[in-house]
Structure 1
Amino acid sequence: MPGHHHTRSRRTTERKGDARERAILDTCEALLAQKGYEAMTVGDIAQGAGITRGALYFYFGSKQEVVTALVARTVEHLWERSRATAQADEPRQAIEAAMRRTVELWNEHGLVMRTAIDLSLTVPEIGELWSHTAVLFITAITAVLERAGIQPGTEPEQASAMASALCWMIERTFYHASQESREELQRASATCEHIWLTSAGLTT
């Protein structure tokens, strides 16, 4: 299967910006809201995108591949919005900016994010994408904590271990809050931000 994955990655790169592929992914995201992952079919996706099933199979081999590509697009947006956080000079501003961008993305694509979390244990490609994204964010959070004066290292009181716990806490908190309302998501974000600031020693 590694060879197949490489082919898919190369084809995706060659088709970057393709309007038809964007239509497929946009339709998939809409159908996740309307029907859910289990109920929607390849036929539904093709019809919504205005193409035949055969045309869809030129781009993706299955419903699972479509959803995996949608998750990849979403986490790329998440990382693009948060990339600068690790380089920001002032830790408090970096934390506030990171939480603000995270709220924005969960408001826009919360259903895709929840689907990614739900499928990460059973769809290896989605699990790999999600784990890789988590590693990027743990690294960024670690950098912010270290700039705030937290000692580097993997012991419980050190930056890397704290960053890992913060990352997964934020993921799970946002997962649940995003199912309730935008207001609940904002409250959850404020709580996570307070915990991150407290961990960094920046609440005094």
Structure 2
Amino acid sequence: MPDPVKAGRRRAGAPSKGDLRELKILEVLEDLLAVKSFDALTINDIAERAGLSRASMYFYFSSKQEALVALFARTVEALREKSRAAADDPAPPRDAIETAMRRTRDRWREHGLIMRVAIDQASTIPEIGALWTETAEIFIDAITAILIRAGAADHDGPDGAPAVARALCWMIERSFYHASAVSREALDQAAETCQVVWLRAAGIEP
């Protein structure tokens, strides 16, 4: 299977006809997941919607699982970039937290469906599990950096910034996962609640 991270990155220079066709396949897959479960979806469904023969489809992706990995890689790459930016944000901790939460919420607003599907498939598609774990670690590093700048203790104990950051990261993931399946309003509320928890963990009055 191709490197999932490379699969999600835009190639340098003008895209070729093949690049555009691959992008079309991924867009089709995301559209289909809005009306059909991943388990029920077939490679033929994707090929037909993309205007390709089954044989042509296999030239780009050998399975629907491989296509999902590529789609998820492309989706989480923006989350990785935003998390790295949060870690380096020179703004006061309160502002950095608000910015990080807004950016994360916006990504879930735009691609919540594909993120939920991928998370559901992570236990059976190792490449997706690895991508999500790596993305979470980048976000955990960003949360840790902001907590330390806010005065949190930098040690390995249960009340140290790294441990608190890890708990915050997975709380945010679960909260956004469930809220994004309900409505935009529920996602907004979840983001506000997670922001309050993060601020309090940083010793900042919400």
Give the alignment's TM-score, normalised by structure 1: 0.92
1:130 corresponds to which of 122, 129, 132: 132
Gaps of 5+ in 2: none
The one-letter code matched in structure 2 to 1:44 is D
Higher relative contact order (CA 8 A, sep 6+): 2
Count of aligned pairs: 200
The one-letter code matched in structure 2 to 1:142 is T
Residue number in structure 2 paired with 1:68: 69
Residue 12 of structure 1: how far off its partner (Å): 7.3
The one-letter code matched in structure 2 to 1:41 is T
Change (3 A) 1:14 1:106: closer
Residue number in structure 2 paired with 1:19: 20
1:84-106 CA distance string (max 9 Å, x none):
11111221111101110111111
Residue number in structure 1 paired with 2:107: 105
Change (3 A) 1:102 1:131: same
Residue number in structure 2 paired with 1:29: 30
SS in 2 for 1:134: helix
Q: In 2, Cα distance between the equivalents of 1:185 and 1:67?
A: 24
SS in 1 for 2:34: helix
Aligned positions of 1:43-122 closer than 5 A? 43-89=44-90, 90-122=92-124
Residue 14 of structure 1: how far off its partner (Å): 9.0
Residue 83 of structure 1: how far off its partner (Å): 2.6
1:169 corresponds to which of 157, 168, 171: 171
Residue 55 of structure 1: how far off its partner (Å): 1.3
The one-letter code matched in structure 1 to 2:197 is I
Structure with greater helix percent? 1
Residue number in structure 2 paired with 1:38: 39
Residue 80 of structure 1: how far off its partner (Å): 2.2
Residue 121 of structure 1: how far off its partner (Å): 1.3
Kindly report structure 1 stretches of 4+ aligned residues shifted beyond 2 Å.
Answer: 8-17, 80-83
Change (3 A) 1:14 1:80: closer
Change (3 A) 1:184 1:49: same
CA contact (8 A) 2:9 2:77 kept: no
Identity of aligned residues (%): 54
SS in 1 for 2:112: helix
